[in-house]
Structure 1
Amino acid sequence: MYRVCKAIHLGSPDKARKESTHPCLDMSRSLSWRSQTVVRQLLCYGALLLCLLQPAGSQAPVNGKMYVPLGSGVIIKCRAENLLEVKEMTWQRTQRDQTKNFLTYTPGTGPTFLTLFGRRTKFLRDGSIAIHDVTLSDEGVYKQVITTFSSMAKEYKIYLEVQVFPDIHVFSAPDPVVGGCLEKTVATCIAGAAKPPAAISWRTGDLPFVVEENVTRHKNGTVTIKSGLKMTPERKINGHKITCVILQDYGLSDVLTKRTITLQNIHFPPQMVSIEVFRNADGSLRILCESEANPPAEYTWKSGPTPYANEQKRVKSSSEKSQIFIPPASQSGLHLLLFD
């Protein structure tokens, strides 16, 4: 807005000097009346010129980034200090090297929404814009062009980047992993449809492992990372806890997510076999066998090449142990235990 500079002229040089409030108007009492009048005019014009040249509400352009989570709301601030001094304001958005005006504002007409996207925005009282339920299509460079009554047009840009947090899944191999000497995939961690892409790492304690990773880039700009954990399948890793660590960059900070599972699908034959023989008071024998296997072993007792008859062997089994009671008449000979 224009600032008005006023001078008082009351007809008498002496009275004018007394009622003048501008310190420069009393710079010389020895000047003639005509000279004082010229000085007053020059000072007034100079002050008016300074008022016209002073930029009202000006601010250095802010070029930076805003990070907004998908589905949230965001306010892009207006850079004008006083909306009353704005003659015209235009909001633009640049996507894929194409720039479109989506909103204009003038004091006389208020905000005018020029596009479908513009009608999605809300024009705030201070000139800022609000976008609700942000989508990936809202990403781009936003520019505000401000023209005030006292200055030329100024531009302010900011890049709006939409953050998409990954859809995380961690699971053991769907099919049983049979023990052996070769490394096999025992677990998988997926950080799906993230933006920016997430980084996946594994924590297995002191157990060795290798990682096999696949990257899928989607048309909407999101990225899916699939990480396979490969280990040598053996007894000691069954029941072991492993952790998938997902790290995603979020502006000036990071988002860290951890998911822990227990490996329970490692198949291995009976190991750590222990057999004990006990004699009961009635002279019968009790033979106890313990072993560790996954899945639990099935036990078959034999006397030589012939399996015990069901009514004779009286076998009691659990997932880790099996025992048989042998009467005195059947104790001689070779007794065998088979695992399946």
Structure 2
Amino acid sequence: MEALPVFVSLRSNFYERSSSRQVSGCTRLTLLFVLIFNLSRCSSALRVIGGNITEVQGETVVLPCKLIDTTETLTQISWQRMTRGKPQNDNFYTITSQNGPQFVNGRDDRFQIIGNFSDKNGSIQLSNVTLLDEGVYTCIFTLFPSGNHETKIPLNLLVPPVTSLSHNHAVLGNEEVSLATCTAAGSRPPAEVRWLTGTLAEKVRATDSSTQHSNGTTTTVSSLFGVPTKEINQHVVQCVVTNPALSKEETMSFTIQVYFSPMGVYIGEKSKDSFRCVTEANPSANFTWRR
């Protein structure tokens, strides 16, 4: 009977140690859950702000990227791109507090950082932008302890047209011919071409055609047709080209030329001892006197 208290004491001690281990395990699980919960709250609160950018070819574009609403430690800002010139995902730029901005996979001095690492601003500037730069840029912030956070920035380019206006040598006649041609070449999006003909609206008409190029640009051609008569000769018409890449409409004026040989020659006395020779022609006729 003396051994019983010892046996009870041993069992009691075992339960106390077992209970202690269970409490310790629960504490560790609770701490892990709290850590995960806090990281989740931090990750959901922070935001990476970017944008959708449209710019004209040849200009300077800003690719905005800023991290807000976080107190985590920023270790690196990275830039990736998938463009016409780089169709595969390309890591091309990194920024750290120790080394500053650095190019990856080749240097391109058109890129320049305009943000500030300490402000969690990774915005960069790209000068002399071309169609090969069009695509999607990805800005990545690497934070401790939550990891990477990114935003994608689409870059779309507008291309202004190269405009020209040419006239055709229309000869006086009764059949409709092309009087002038207005061209808006290599634009993106396609340019709108229209004619201002004033009082000739009932005497002329326009036809349009377009050609798409492999680089995504379009050439638009508009031709002005009419019957080449003396009534439309020397009338001024205008070709107007409109495109989002142009700061304003581009207007080109043109004087219709209908060519014809001298139509009758008239000689009259101008004064007592002088004579005058008159004719109508386009271009102007040359005169030769004989006696």
Which residue of the partner structure matches residue 67 of structure 1? 54
Distance 2:104 2:192 in 1: 41
2:102 matched to 1:112? yes
Which residue of the partner structure matches residue 149 of structure 2? 154
Q: Deviations over 1:44-85 (max 9, x none)?
A: x97996488324982266563x22222221111112138984
Which residue of the partner structure matches residue 186 of structure 2? 193
Distance 2:161 2:279 in 1: 40
User: Which residue type is aligned with residue 75 of structure 1?
Assistant: V
Distance 2:110 2:71 in 1: 22
* Pairing of 1:118-267 with structure 2 (within 5 A): 118-124=108-114, 125=116, 126-149=121-144, 151-173=146-168, 175=169, 177-205=170-198, 206-250=201-245, 255-263=248-256, 265-267=257-259
Distance 2:89 2:39 in 1: 35
Tell me which moved more, 112-121 or 179-188: 112-121
Q: Is the 8 A contact 2:266 2:279 kept in 1?
A: no
User: Which residue type is aligned with residue 138 of structure 1?
Assistant: D
Distance 1:55 1:150, change over 3 A: farther
Q: Is the 8 A contact 2:72 2:145 kept in 1?
A: no
Q: Is the 8 A contact 2:50 2:64 kept in 1?
A: no
**Cα displacement (A) at 1:240:** 1.3
Distance 2:178 2:254 in 1: 14
2:100 matched to 1:100? no
Q: Any stretches of 5+ residues in structure 1 without a counterpart?
A: 1-41, 269-294, 302-307, 322-340
User: Which residue type is aligned with residue 317 of structure 1?
Assistant: C
Distance 1:84 1:60, change over 3 A: closer
Choose the corresponding residue for 1:76, options 63, 82, 88: 63
Which residue of the partner structure matches residue 299 of structure 1? 265
After TM superposition, the score normalised by the length of structure 1 is 0.59
**Cα displacement (A) at 1:208:** 3.6
Q: Which structure has the greater CA radius of gyration?
A: 1
Distance 1:254 1:300 in 2: 53
SS of the aligned residue for 1:53 comes to helix
SS of the aligned residue for 1:229 comes to strand
**Cα displacement (A) at 1:218:** 3.5
Superposed CA RMSD in Å reads 3.5
User: Which residue type is aligned with residue 74 of structure 1?
Assistant: V
Tell me which moved more, 232-241 or 151-160: 151-160
Q: Is the 8 A contact 1:90 1:103 kept in 2?
A: yes
Distance 1:117 1:163, change over 3 A: farther
Distance 1:86 1:164 in 2: 38
* Pairing of 1:323-334 with structure 2 (within 5 A): none
User: Which residue type is aligned with residue 104 of structure 1?
Assistant: T
After TM superposition, the score normalised by the length of structure 2 is 0.68
Which residue of the partner structure matches residue 316 of structure 1? 276
Distance 1:187 1:152, change over 3 A: same
Distance 1:85 1:266, change over 3 A: farther
Distance 1:46 1:157, change over 3 A: closer
Distance 1:60 1:123 in 2: 17
Distance 2:39 2:277 in 1: 100
Distance 2:211 2:36 in 1: 64
Distance 2:76 2:126 in 1: 21
Identity score, percent:
28
User: Which residue type is aligned with residue 163 of structure 1?
Assistant: L
> What is the total number of aligned residue pairs between the two structures?
236
Return the structure number with greater relative CO, CA threshold 8 A, min gap 6: 2
Distance 1:254 1:149 in 2: 46
Tell me which moved more, 88-97 or 187-196: 88-97
Which residue of the partner structure matches residue 288 of structure 2? none
Distance 1:52 1:221 in 2: 44
